[in-house]
Amino acid sequence: MSTFGQRLRQAIDARGPLCVGIDPHEALLRAWGLDASAAGVREFGLRTVDAARGRAGIVKPQVAFFERYGSAGFAALEEVIAAARAADLLVIADAKRGDIGTTMDGYAEAWLRPGAPLESDAVTLSPYLGTDALHAALTMALEHDKGAFVLAATSNPEAAALQKARVDEEETVAERVAHDVAARNIGAPGSLGPIGLVVGATVDRRAFGLDDIVLAGTPILAPGFGAQGAQPADLGSIFGYVASQVVASESRSVLSAGPDDLATRIEERAALYRGQR
């Protein structure tokens, strides 16, 4: 089996960098004519997967919108993830998990163990209990050809004070996270390692210490495209030399098209990104 980095490179080369967020929040469920229920988010997710099939290479279910419905919501998420992987879409579970010891072991088992009900291709992780605390998840990702995206410079303004804070005179918190992640990718085959970073498209990444050298070879999951303001035409100017490593996440800008026009909207947005290559 190829590594996650290799599969991600293939998906971006084949379909472009667009990542379709599966974010069934209540307002969108109403707009789609669906109930705010586990059944509603299941239908929403499956319709999005069907629209993305063959048009985009990557989807990102936002776990919280399924989790809010308890066990039935998780059952719906299991179906959506399984359908996406069966449709040859890479699945990034946006769970933002982060803990210590056996608790982190449990999260790793849940999202990255082959055969697990929630098995995904990659999961988002929070490093703010220390990147070493993510060892179980990162190790499992490497052992099973999975991936992870670790929060570094996120697109929400309230995160900047923490992520720009300096560990010492040389590094910001975000830069230290990036260096720890890059170390995990050493020796990985292909142009991309399996462990990536979350870097918002609407932030000045260099102000966080994330220049092209720090990010070289690291996959970048970039929220902030679409409704948050960044556009496909901005990909090169925002990310420069590392633009080819970017997974451009869009949710509301795509999902607002509604179920009838969703496939067309995905194809249009994906084509705009491919046109920047």
Catalytic residue among 60, 96, 146, 164: 96
Q: Say which residue the tokens 């099973």 belong to.
A: 144
Q: Is 146 a catalytic residue?
A: no
Q: Count Cβ neighbours within 10 Å for each residue of 89-106 and write b for 16 or more, e otherwise.
A: bbbbbbbbbbbeeeebbe
Beta-ladder partners of 153? 199
149, β-bridge pairs: 124, 196
* Cα–Cα distance for residue pair 37/34, rounded to 1 Å: 8
Active-site amino acid positions:
96
